[in-house]
């Protein structure tokens, strides 16, 4: 996707500390605002969903509860194995070891391509967008959900930790590629401060993690996300041809 040899963007948090990342996923968006927002643009009931960069498959069962078919795509083999274990009892889910820019999925067969906290979908990810558009059926949607680094407090910690990260450039990239942007406010709530400290420790360097712990009173704080949506046009060419023929 970007210009490294393999096209896989390292995710130290989930690659090196999968159990802490699992606790982080459980703490995220406790009110379900993100799934509500995704469903409002592309309801997956009885549809086919691809979750790109699915990690250990945390979100696969949510889609599987209503979808006809769910495919998880994950290039980091230990995580693909974990995801397969998680969905072993779900007959409508399969997990494939692959990358966003080369999906083992037939043309025009998918209704929703979802990518959550997917750093690999950012500036330079043109091949991944083209690939998602290839597998989408007409009217289907590519939905990229990521953290909004412009919003306090979480975004302040992100920018302090990654001073070269430019959220405006990222948003401009998606806008130039024809995506609509929605900002979604969520709440993260942890069972206790020990889990919170562990999560801060995998997301940020020691100084920012310490500052973030001091800034949080209790076990809960606000986190804003951005949701970028691009649809595959539905049937326009067909109707034009039909008119001409008629
Ligand atoms: C931060 S994790 C998020 C995992 C999952 N979406 C979640 O929310 O729990 C990002 C994931 O993207 C995967 N990844 C990295 N580069 C990728 C690429 N080029 N194509 C598909 N997935 C990729 C990583 O291996 C990792 O599992």
Q: Which phi and psi (to 5°) does residue 243 adopt? A: -65, -45
Question: pLDDT exceeding 70 applies to what percent of the chain?
Answer: 93
Confidence band, pLDDT 50/70/90 cuts, at residue 119: confident
Residue nearest to atom 19 of ligand 1 (CA): 8
Residues near ligand 1 (Cβ within 6 A): 1, 7-9, 11, 14, 25, 52-55, 58, 73-76, 79, 99-100, 116-118, 120
pLDDT reported for residue 244: 43
Q: What is the pTM (predicted TM-score) of this model? A: 0.93
Nearest atom in ligand 1 to 55's CA: 27
The rounded mean pLDDT for the chain is: 93
- Best substitution site from 6, 52, 75, 204 to test ligand 1's pocket, by max atoms within 8 Å of Cβ? 75
List beta partners, residue 143: 114, 229
Confidence band, pLDDT 50/70/90 cuts, at residue 239: low
pLDDT tens for residues 193-235? 999 999 999 999 999 999 999 999 999 999 999 999 999 998 7
**H helix runs in 68-227, sequence order:** 77-86, 126-135, 154-161, 167-176, 193-203, 206-215
pLDDT reported for residue 100: 96
In this structure, what DSSP letter does residue 193 have? H
What distance in Å separates the CA atoms of residue 210 and residue 226, rounded to the nearest whole number?
26
Residue 84 pLDDT exceeds 50: yes
Tokens of 130: 């083209």
Residue 196 contacts residue 241 (beta carbons within 8 Å): no
Nearest atom in ligand 1 to 7's CA: 19
Residue nearest to atom 25 of ligand 1 (CA): 76
């Amino acid at each position: 996707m970007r210009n490294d040899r393999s096209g896989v963007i390292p995710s130290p948090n989930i690659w090196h500390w999968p159990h802490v990342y699992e606790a982080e996923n459980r703490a995220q968006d406790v009110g379900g605002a993100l799934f509500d927002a995704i469903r409002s643009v592309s309801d997956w009931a009885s549809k086919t969903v691809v979750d790109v960069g699915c990690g250990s498959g945390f979100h696969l069962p949510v889609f599987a509860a209503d979808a006809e078919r769910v495919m998880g795509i994950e290039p980091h083999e230990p995580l693909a194995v974990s995801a397969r274990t998680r969905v072993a009892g779900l007959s409508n889910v399969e997990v494939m070891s692959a990358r966003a820019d080369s999906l083992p999925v037939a043309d025009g067969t998918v209704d929703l391509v979802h990518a959550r906290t997917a750093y690999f979908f950012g500036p330079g990810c043109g091949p991944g967008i083209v690939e998602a558009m290839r597998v989408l059926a007409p009217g289907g949607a590519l939905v990229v959900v990521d953290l909004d680094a412009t919003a306090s407090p979480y975004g302040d910690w992100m920018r302090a930790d990654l001073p070269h990260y430019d959220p405006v450039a990222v948003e401009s990239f998606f806008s130039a590629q024809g995506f609509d942007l929605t900002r979604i406010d969520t709440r993260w709530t942890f069972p206790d401060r020990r889990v919170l400290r562990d999560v801060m420790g995998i997301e940020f360097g020691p100084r920012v993690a310490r500052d973030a712990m001091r800034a949080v009173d209790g076990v809960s704080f606000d986190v804003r996300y951005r949701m970028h949506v691009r649809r595959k046009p539905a049937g326009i060419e067909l109707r034009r041809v039909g008119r001409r023929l008629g």
